[in-house]
Structure 1
Amino acid sequence: MAQENAANSKNKVAIVTGGSRGLGRNTAVSLAKHGVDTIITYHSNRAEADTAVSEIQALGRKSVALQLDTGKSATFDAFAVEVKHALNDTWDRDTFDYLVNNAGISAPGSITDMKEEDFDRLYNIHFKGVFFLTQKLLPSIKDGGRIVNISSGLARFALPGYAVYGSLKGAIEVMTRYMAKELGPRGIAVNVVAPGAIETDFGGGSVRDNPQANKFVASITAMGRAGLPDDIGPMIAVLLSDENRWMTAQRLEVSGGMFL
């Protein structure tokens, strides 16, 4: 089956933002296992990005790392040009197949205490950045391609301190439906994946490294544990496969059943 998937995905290229670490890296590696090449982006840690590229290449796939701050939309035109160069130089083509808008940060704060600069940073990365990066890359996305936007379980349930983050992820879910509507004539499917609490370094590694937080997550999750990167990346890889070509405008929560 794995060989069949690889054959069906031959020469497919995905862009995964924030692909040098955490869920983004797991997604890029999972795509490689399904025979998909990747352009991953990183914010500032080039060495970390290089190790991700090496991991993907060790699986027999091609990968390129490009620097990108998804909170700075003024840089997106230049990034789109870099993408075209990478596609031409590495794959001898001028289009790519899949876009995974994954890059994100955590900046918790109550409604009472949230600082405006933190609000703006969250907004620029989690909503404005996703909107305009997708816009700038649309000319290079192949007709019949796929877009996956990353949301969060926090768009469905509420935890104190995540009002801004959760609200922006809710906006992403609405925007996904509009993208699906507008890009449908090009055969581009657009869906949203909403992970629950995952053991990564996101948010300072609180779920992974804080025993109390991990225990709490397990206690309110139907499957009885916190999520792992391997619970998310492979699911996204399967979602992007040809078998799911008729699914669009859907929200898929991958949380192990949090707060049911």
Structure 2
Amino acid sequence: MPVTMPAGKNAKIALVTGGSRGMGRSTVLSLAARDVQTIFTYNSNKAEADKVVASAALAGHRAVALQLDMGQVGSFDAFVEDLRGALDMLHATRLDFLVNNAGMSLHKPFDQTSVDDLDLVFRVHFQGVFFLIQKLLPILNDGGRIINISSGLTRFTSPGISAYASMKGAVEVLTRYLAKELGPRGITVNTVAPGAIATDFSGGIVRDNPELNRQVSAMTALGRAGQPDDVGPMIAALLSDDNRWVNAQRIEVSGGMVI
């Protein structure tokens, strides 16, 4: 559990799932730039997680990396205990922010998607999000913020991604319900829906496929595919007190894709 600089007693504390790469990494570092202390999760690549911790340290900020498989709900109780330990290291007992970013892709035509395929994306993208939030509610501060990451694919379609996009649609509905149910505690819940982002997601399909990258650029008003740092700073800004009155919203961050 690598850590860096001591946290201030009044620092805000965030948990970012899937924070070792791509948009998650950008979110962790963008929060650090705003003096938010961050605990983030990684699934299997500890080396990449350690790099994020080191990058935060170079900027004089603290980050803690914890392992978590979002598809294994049975491990969540043990994870919460690890999280409590990480909070103690940050001289805190509760979270202020939660960003549900961790995920995986599935590119299969509808008629070739198996029960196991659908079960996997359900467990990672919906069941995991649902029950992680539930487990964390007792240690999320009143007045806190939750951001669930969705996808532009819930607004526009691309063949072969029906299972993944459907789970993201479910997350968007969950977001609105949680905003209502958690409103009495002053907790806001919003969805951020990125467009096509050039990361290693889906095997780097947008980043490493020149033809697909050109197609994405052609259908985007700003004329290019997104980058992780187009999204991470936006998430960090949405978590700030400047956006305290934004609630139950789906905010697309796509550069104007398919408009």
TM-score after normalising by structure 2: 0.95
Residues 147-181 of structure 1: CA deviation (Å, up to 9, x unaligned): 00000000011110011111111111000000100
Would you say 1:188 and 2:187 are equivalent positions? yes
Counterpart in 2 of 1:6? none
The SS at the match of 2:112 is: coil
Q: Displacement, 1:107? A: 1.3
Amino acid in structure 1 at the alignment position of 2:72: K
Superposition pairs of residues 97-116 of structure 1, within 5 angstroms:
97-116=96-115
Counterpart in 1 of 2:4? none
Amino acid in structure 2 at the alignment position of 1:196: G
Superposition pairs of residues 1-260 of structure 1, within 5 angstroms:
11-88=11-88, 90-260=89-259
Amino acid in structure 2 at the alignment position of 1:33: A
Aligned partners of 1:35 and 1:54: how far apart in 2?
16
Aligned partners of 1:139 and 1:61: how far apart in 2?
26
Gaps of 5+ in 2: 1-8
Q: Displacement, 1:80? A: 0.8
Gaps of 5+ in 1: 1-8
Residues 233-260 of structure 1: CA deviation (Å, up to 9, x unaligned): 0000000001111111000000011110
For the 8 Å contact 1:16–1:101, the answer to whether it is kept is yes
Aligned partners of 1:26 and 1:66: how far apart in 2?
17
Q: What number of residue pairs does the alignment pair up?
A: 251
Aligned partners of 2:222 and 2:168: how far apart in 1?
24
Q: What is the Cα-based RMSD across aligned positions, in Å? A: 1.0
Amino acid in structure 1 at the alignment position of 2:24: G
Deviation >3 Å, runs of 4+ = none
The SS at the match of 2:204 is: helix
Amino acid in structure 2 at the alignment position of 1:178: Y
Aligned partners of 1:81 and 1:125: how far apart in 2?
20
For the 8 Å contact 1:70–1:130, the answer to whether it is kept is yes
Aligned partners of 2:45 and 2:33: how far apart in 1?
24
Give % identity.
59
The SS at the match of 2:245 is: coil
Q: Displacement, 1:116? A: 1.8
Residues 60-112 of structure 1: CA deviation (Å, up to 9, x unaligned): 11111000000000000111111111101x22221011000000001111111
TM-score after normalising by structure 1: 0.95
Amino acid in structure 2 at the alignment position of 1:12: K
Q: Displacement, 1:10? A: 5.1
